[in-house]
Chain A
């Protein structure tokens, strides 16, 4: 590999601005590993405005220590986008997004073991007329598979630097950094013959893009080519629309070709494939065949019709056991420290509203949410592990048949699995689902999977339901599992219903690559986990902090006389009045106004129910130790002297929480994801409506049966 021809000048044409690199490549070609290797911990994760596609930006340093910005774009097989994240990749590269500067240079990473397929995207990217560095990753795996690649030939043909690399072992990173540090990068020499009947159209669209859409000449040509092959079905929020004149030229040409019977898109795509085929034939030499790889041997078990299910079951079991057992220790620790902090503030400040606002509002509210951090970390550790080993795609493959029964494809499995911890990452994970209807159905049902915030509610209700320690642990676990099963069945049932009514669509088609198994890269998994934790903490620090303060205000005002007990104060506060207002609607479910307050406050987040019950029944209990609260709840009576928390009420309340949409953060994410209020409102209505009806049926039937 040639060393850069200079030593002194700074990168990217010597301009003083930090050069911006975009990192693009097919899914599963080691893009994230390369990104992490280049940028280390200097990463920022955000969102592209209007879509929940993650925007990962990092800083790499040139050989001379100058910073270089690297944008990690979502993986794509081509620029013809089919899902929102692919659309973001396309739009950033074409400079269509106002929120992201068009990259100065492009790092294109390809998988050496499957060069021909990867070259399709490379070919489209070279059309953009930007300096490109081609990184050929997984050279070691290609050699193992008996492939030899003539990279100098590839470099000659394309006219751009080609760097062999093994990102997982860190090989080739120095050479890549050297190439990135070059002030001058050659533009590609690549040329391919556009079919003659289409060439005039490309010229005309290109001219219009230059004059009306203010594009550079080369990028305009690339966009013209793309407009003709891509039906441009996926448009995402935040990208600039085409100028009407350009759109009109496009329509005129398409109409003309339609009348003539010219298959313009097909012939364009084919001529590109011809060019790639010729190139690949020169570069890739198959120097021997290899037997089944280790990956193939593992797959023989992991994708087996019977063993595959057993493996998946075991993995899921391990996942849940870890979430519910390992997390307990750090959760207790956080709980104790939050309580200690609240006490310290209580001790340090004079009594008054400000003190109560800080301790009962801010610290208790945010603390009650941060307590779930360990579970979320464990879940993401597992999901990261499953993804980085390549098993996740197998799980989707195994689940595909089951999912197709309800009209979804295997790709919906990953979001639903994530939703067991929290619906928010689950909903964010739907962005890889290509079909927009399948994606929407998955978003609509994801919050039915019992998330970790329901856990405290279940625990409290089970404690009230099966009093005493005489009941075997198995009964409690059994009730808990029943609630999880109920939510899961509900999610599948509603998916089935929505796919047949509201969001009718073609039977789901899944085409998914199963990456070879790899040893997990703990560094990448850890980075992924830290990213998630940070997003979660930021949310706790902003949205949830705000809600907690508002809730505190609603329970603290208007003020009761000074000698009132906390329970009396709550009863006549705004929240208490709202509980009374709600009582007629929930009385048929066996809930009184006090439970009503809990339902209202826990609309912010389900776990708030437990702390609200603590305030309502005036006990000094923490989230973990529910014994005193349980006793107080069992002592609670209706005005006519009947017991409030009968076993039937407890079961009904749990069922209510399985289905009800009691989470403002989820509503906010769904709103952002679906670009409007229509779907979040529908989702809240159907979920809470189902919760109310089912609770009513269960409670009234239970009463009828004499419980």
Chain B
């Protein structure tokens, strides 16, 4: 597979497993955004995606968080490193 240039924003679903991203934007209604922030995924936090295509498993500040696909889609990150 050829390396395509990394787009500015990826959703957490698109981030490859093992990749690290910095949260840039939370989409969705206010309640959703607030809930995600309360779980520790606020703007500019670093998120490591552990695994998952359907339900996503990620790691934030040492805490593992499972997100269903619909929720992860609304979390936009900037990819920093990863395999």
Residues of chain A whose beta carbon lies under 8 Å from any beta carbon of chain B: 77-78, 80, 82, 113-114, 116-117, 120, 145, 229, 231, 233, 265-266, 269, 273, 295, 299, 303-305, 393, 396-397, 400-401, 404, 409-410, 506-514, 516
Contacting pair A78 B32 (CB below 8 A): no
30 contacts between A and B (CB under 8 A): A77-B39, A80-B38, A113-B62, A114-B40, A114-B63, A116-B61, A117-B40, A120-B38, A231-B30, A266-B30, A295-B64, A299-B57, A303-B57, A397-B55, A397-B66, A400-B54, A400-B68, A401-B54, A401-B55, A410-B66, A506-B70, A507-B70, A509-B67, A509-B70, A511-B36, A511-B66, A513-B65, A513-B66, A514-B63, A514-B65
Give the number of A-B contacts (CB < 8 Å): 102
Cβ-closest chain A residue relative to B40: A117
In the bound assembly, the distance between CA atoms of A231 and B57 in angstroms comes to 29
Q: Do A117 and B39 form a contact, CB below 8 Å, given A511-B65, A511-B67?
A: yes
Residues of chain B with a CB closer than 8 A to A409's CB: 68
In the bound assembly, the distance between CA atoms of A299 and B50 in angstroms comes to 10
Contacting pair B62 A145 (CB below 8 A): yes
In the bound assembly, the distance between CA atoms of A269 and B30 in angstroms comes to 11
Residues of chain B with a CB closer than 8 A to A114's CB: 40, 61-63
Residues of chain B with a CB closer than 8 A to A516's CB: 64
In the bound assembly, the distance between CA atoms of A401 and B40 in angstroms comes to 23
Residues of chain A with a CB closer than 8 A to B39's CB: 77, 117, 511, 513
In the bound assembly, the distance between CA atoms of A410 and B12 in angstroms comes to 19
Cβ-closest chain A residue relative to B67: A511
In the bound assembly, the distance between CA atoms of A483 and B39 in angstroms comes to 40
**Contacting residue for A116 out of B30, B35, B40, B57, CB 8 A:** B40
B52-78 vs A, Cβ < 8 Å mask (1 yes, 0 no): 001101000111111111110000000
In the bound assembly, the distance between CA atoms of A397 and B36 in angstroms comes to 17
Closest CB in chain B relative to A112 CB, distance in Å:
10
Residues of chain A with a CB closer than 8 A to B65's CB: 511-514
Closest CB in chain B relative to A387 CB, distance in Å:
16
Residues of chain A with a CB closer than 8 A to B61's CB: 113-114, 116-117
Contacting pair B37 A512 (CB below 8 A): no
Cβ-closest chain B residue relative to A120: B38
- The range of chain B's interface size is 20 to 34
In the bound assembly, the distance between CA atoms of A305 and B38 in angstroms comes to 28
In the bound assembly, the distance between CA atoms of A397 and B65 in angstroms comes to 10
**Contacting residue for B68 out of A117, A266, A404, CB 8 A:** A404
In the bound assembly, the distance between CA atoms of A508 and B34 in angstroms comes to 17
Contacting pair A410 B62 (CB below 8 A): no
Q: 10 closest pairs, A vs B, by CB? A: A117-B40, A514-B64, A77-B38, A510-B68, A400-B55, A401-B54, A397-B66, A509-B71, A512-B66, A78-B38
Contacting pair B40 A410 (CB below 8 A): no
Residues of chain B with a CB closer than 8 A to A113's CB: 61-63
Contacting pair B63 A510 (CB below 8 A): no
Residues of chain B whose beta carbon lies under 8 Å from any beta carbon of chain A: 30-32, 34-40, 42, 50-51, 54-55, 57, 61-71
Contacting pair A400 B37 (CB below 8 A): no
Contacting pair A273 B37 (CB below 8 A): yes
Cβ-closest chain B residue relative to A113: B62
In the bound assembly, the distance between CA atoms of A382 and B10 in angstroms comes to 40
Closest CB in chain A relative to B60 CB, distance in Å:
8
Residues of chain B with a CB closer than 8 A to A229's CB: 34
Contacting pair B64 A513 (CB below 8 A): yes
In the bound assembly, the distance between CA atoms of A116 and B46 in angstroms comes to 13
In the bound assembly, the distance between CA atoms of A512 and B34 in angstroms comes to 14
In the bound assembly, the distance between CA atoms of A269 and B63 in angstroms comes to 22
Residues of chain A with a CB closer than 8 A to B42's CB: 273
Contacting pair A231 B54 (CB below 8 A): no
Closest CB in chain A relative to B16 CB, distance in Å:
15
In the bound assembly, the distance between CA atoms of A511 and B63 in angstroms comes to 12
Count chain A CB atoms within 10 A of each CB in B31, B34, B71 and give the residue with the most: B34
Contacting pair A397 B57 (CB below 8 A): yes
Closest CB in chain A relative to B2 CB, distance in Å:
26
In the bound assembly, the distance between CA atoms of A609 and B66 in angstroms comes to 44
Contacting pair A303 B51 (CB below 8 A): yes
In the bound assembly, the distance between CA atoms of A269 and B34 in angstroms comes to 8
In the bound assembly, the distance between CA atoms of A233 and B32 in angstroms comes to 13
Q: Do A400 and B66 form a contact, CB below 8 Å, given A299-B50, A511-B39, A514-B57?
A: yes
In the bound assembly, the distance between CA atoms of A93 and B30 in angstroms comes to 24
Residues of chain B with a CB closer than 8 A to A508's CB: 68, 70
Residues of chain B with a CB closer than 8 A to A506's CB: 70
In the bound assembly, the distance between CA atoms of A393 and B66 in angstroms comes to 9
In the bound assembly, the distance between CA atoms of A120 and B31 in angstroms comes to 16
Closest CB in chain B relative to A94 CB, distance in Å:
18
Cβ-closest chain A residue relative to B44: A277
Closest CB in chain A relative to B13 CB, distance in Å:
13
In the bound assembly, the distance between CA atoms of A585 and B38 in angstroms comes to 55
In the bound assembly, the distance between CA atoms of A512 and B31 in angstroms comes to 16
In the bound assembly, the distance between CA atoms of A77 and B32 in angstroms comes to 13
| Contacts A396-B66, A397-B55 known; 9 new A-B pairs at CB < 8 A | A113-B61, A116-B40, A303-B50, A304-B51, A509-B70, A510-B66, A511-B67, A513-B65, A514-B65
In the bound assembly, the distance between CA atoms of A400 and B66 in angstroms comes to 9
Q: Do A410 and B55 form a contact, CB below 8 Å, given A231-B31, A509-B71, A510-B71?
A: yes
